[in-house]
Chains A and B, each alone.
Chain A
């Protein structure tokens, strides 16, 4: 059929789906908006979950945050599956290039044993922290309300799994496989890590998905990533000849900065919705960031020695500024 169909003027009846047009009017909509707005079923549910009969399958009452419209919580990255997975694939390519570079120059062999051991000691227990973050973001996706909020949370959960796997691969590149077991033992027993493990385990039983989001993504990761990948890996390790480690973890700080745009946008819009939300989220932030900071004191010390305490305070200050910028009252 080779008639000039393309040339013929064919007038569309409409530009997008009603669920999108309800927000934008009937005009051509981005793929992000068509993938997101008004997607989750909202009404006439059939059966209460047997595992939680006090709620509907999707229920705004699972969180104390109140939104007139949960689709106000947009992702400034405008991620949908395709753009997310293609962005990560590109980042993965540059990670592969880093691995090649590090291997071809023998950079790992050029690190001193002490630096290598120190890097493993610091970074291997963090595999488990990322795993906890993966679980918590699954919680946000499963228990949250509205696709705008929940879909990026699932992508974030998979990103956290990716982080845990990047760290695993790093450990296997730096040392024998036993290094993973050693990190796990530290995670389970070493006193330096116990406050952090306790904190992570406590976040795993928080029921309110928005509180989980604040505790994990803003409070804990907001301190952990700048402390570890900024202060420790990029500064401390690099000075001691551990640049290879910085190259092989480059994904993490880059991803943290990228996803912080989403996290801050969610917090900002939810807090701006009402005084109640602002108070609630501010309180959650204050509570969880104080706990996270306390749990990270021994970790900072392990990483940076006496400079750890100061570095942690600096990181906290920066995070407080970030929270204030997102509209929280501290």
Chain B
């Protein structure tokens, strides 16, 4: 043995510091301001980066070992799933539409997160924060890829997934997640972490994770369940980064508190609006229900979030603006969103439908204060029309909220029968909003939001047709021209689930008897 066994050993914390922040130095041949130009203009004051607490201690050797093992197991499941035609084991082909939303709207955000964390992983002056952000950057690349690889097999057998990346840059409803993440990425590094790591990952992540992953488990989708659970240990690291960053900013300087509060207000509302899509998926697209959106909101937002903000009160942080309105919305937003997507089902690359009676009963039971009164009669009317051969597809274009880019279908606080409209004037132009929250966000940074690529405006301005298309031609069908520009397979990717190719194929592959009473496809488009 080594004779110098009496060598001094570093404690875990010191050892990790030597492996990370100990590698950094203050540059002198180039000014630090030039090497790290981006982390001061937001106004966050950091006096001592040494006070940054590493949210986790994972050196690359351990990281490779754990992650490599997780990947080995995950890909074995994905492989077996494909070999055994696992897609036929899902409860009902309607479930596949939840996966379509996932790969269209969520998977691209993993990629955005990967690039965003690469940027802040380079640009925080504090080396400890850089390392944590870099690790998240590769984790997010992992999530993008494992989701892609898991869904790849579904893509071979079902519509609505094959062109997800192209749609992400173009399709109207995907401007909601896209603008959300570009908003975060176009902010400075501290706002990015507040937006993504704290507001989204720490405060709201369960509201995303539970519906999709438990939804997958309940609906027989073992492939999605496996990647979801495989991502969970990554997520817990990401959440600790989020809370550490918030506490660090708040502890460094009292002048940071109002800035952080403004970001929390903004990103809570942005995140809440984005989750409308998840709420709808959870209440309407999972044939085997897990829990209602309302229940999830009560458990993960009202209880857990409430406790978190109680804890942050000692720093002078209060509940985000709009919290009460968001809580009131739990009775409504999933139903209002499904209604919108049901009507615009010609223009989105997934299927919608009217729930079965049993499902309507479940919704009545879960939403005793709203469903029977406001939403059930409407759905029953749609079903009646559809069964009479008149499935309705809206061909008009909705007004969008300038901030969240969701069509204006949310109702007034306190009055679920009245659509909520807000507007403001900036630079001589009028801008429209779905809520006080979105209006307020715009007014804080109008120069940012006037840049919004609003799909409906873009269509009206003629930017969403293929080259050579002439909108002045008699009989011009703008929706058809837009769907062509989307590169959407009309009749296969869109319309009602009833009568869809997915429905037919799934029944044939499973050897199920043809379903009685399938309605004919009717209506416009």
B-contacting residues of A (Cβ < 8 Å)? 1, 3, 5-6, 8, 10, 12-19, 31, 34-35, 38-51, 57-58, 80-82, 85-86, 88-90, 92, 95, 103, 106, 108-109, 127-128, 130-131, 134-135, 138-139, 141-143, 147, 150-151, 154-155, 157-158, 161-162, 164-166, 168-169, 172, 175-177, 180, 184, 187-188, 197-198, 201-202, 204-205
Q: A35-B148, A198-B29 are in contact. Are A172 and B134 (CB under 8 A)?
A: no
Kindly identify, within residues 125 to 184 of chain B, every residue whose CB is under 8 Å from any CB belonging to chain A. Answer: 130-131, 134-135, 137-138, 141-142, 144-146, 148-149, 152, 155-159, 161-166, 168-170, 175, 178-179, 182-183
Instruction: Give every chain B residue within 8 A of A151 (Cβ-Cβ).
Output: 114, 141
Q: Which residue of B1, B14, B178, B187 contacts A41 across the interface (Cβ within 8 Å)?
A: B178
Q: A10-B157, A106-B2, A177-B10 are in contact. Are A205 and B34 (CB under 8 A)?
A: yes
Which of B196-204, B252-260, B279-287, B446-454 is the interface stretch?
Answer: B446-454
**Which secondary structure dominates chain B's binding surface?**
helix
A229 to B16, CA, bound (A): 25
Q: A86-B68, A142-B119 are in contact. Are A187 and B25 (CB under 8 A)?
A: yes
A40 to B187, CA, bound (A): 19
Q: Which residue of A6, A19, A57 contacts B85 across the interface (Cβ within 8 Å)?
A: A6
Q: State how many angstroms separate the Cβ of A248 from the closest Cβ of chain B.
A: 13
Which of B58-66, B331-339, B381-389, B423-431 is the interface stretch?
Answer: B58-66
Asked if B523 is an interface residue, CB under 8 A from chain A, the answer is no
Instruction: Give every chain A residue within 8 A of B452 (Cβ-Cβ).
Output: 46-47
Instruction: Give every chain B residue within 8 A of A187 (Cβ-Cβ).
Output: 25
Q: Are A201 and B115 neighbours in the complex by a CB distance under 8 Å?
A: no
Q: Are B25 and A44 neighbours in the complex by a CB distance under 8 Å?
A: no
Q: Are A35 and B149 neighbours in the complex by a CB distance under 8 Å?
A: yes
A204 to B448, CA, bound (A): 29
Q: State how many angstroms separate the Cβ of A124 from the closest Cβ of chain B.
A: 11
Q: Are B61 and A162 neighbours in the complex by a CB distance under 8 Å?
A: yes
A14 to B489, CA, bound (A): 13
Which of B69-77, B240-248, B322-330, B356-364 is the interface stretch?
Answer: B69-77
Q: Which residue of A35, A86, A161, A177 contacts B145 across the interface (Cβ within 8 Å)?
A: A35
**Which secondary structure dominates chain A's binding surface?**
helix
Binary CB contact string for chain B from 1 to 32 against chain A (1 if under 8 A, 0 otherwise) = 11110011010001100110011110111100
A201 to B134, CA, bound (A): 20
Q: Which residue of B68, B163, B169 contacts A17 across the interface (Cβ within 8 Å)?
A: B163
A130 to B25, CA, bound (A): 12
Q: State how many angstroms separate the Cβ of A101 from the closest Cβ of chain B.
A: 13
Q: State how many angstroms separate the Cβ of A130 from the closest Cβ of chain B.
A: 7
Q: Are A158 and B60 neighbours in the complex by a CB distance under 8 Å?
A: yes
Q: A5-B89, A35-B145, A177-B10 are in contact. Are A47 and B186 (CB under 8 A)?
A: yes
Q: State how many angstroms separate the Cβ of B479 from the closest Cβ of chain A.
A: 19
Asked if B41 is an interface residue, CB under 8 A from chain A, the answer is yes
7 contacts between A and B (CB under 8 A): A10-B85, A39-B144, A41-B168, A48-B451, A49-B185, A81-B141, A138-B118
Instruction: Give every chain A residue within 8 A of B179 (Cβ-Cβ).
Output: 46-47
Instruction: Give every chain A residue within 8 A of B119 (Cβ-Cβ).
Output: 138, 142-143
Instruction: Give every chain A residue within 8 A of B440 (Cβ-Cβ).
Output: none
Q: State how many angstroms separate the Cβ of B232 from the closest Cβ of chain A.
A: 16
A18 to B137, CA, bound (A): 26
Nearest-CB residue, chain A, relative to B2: A109
Q: State how many angstroms separate the Cβ of B512 from the closest Cβ of chain A.
A: 11
19 further A-B pairs in the complex, CB-CB below 8 A; given A17-B161, A82-B75, A89-B65: A6-B85, A16-B155, A17-B163, A18-B166, A31-B145, A35-B145, A45-B453, A46-B179, A81-B141, A89-B68, A106-B2, A138-B118, A139-B122, A150-B115, A150-B118, A154-B138, A162-B61, A168-B19, A177-B14
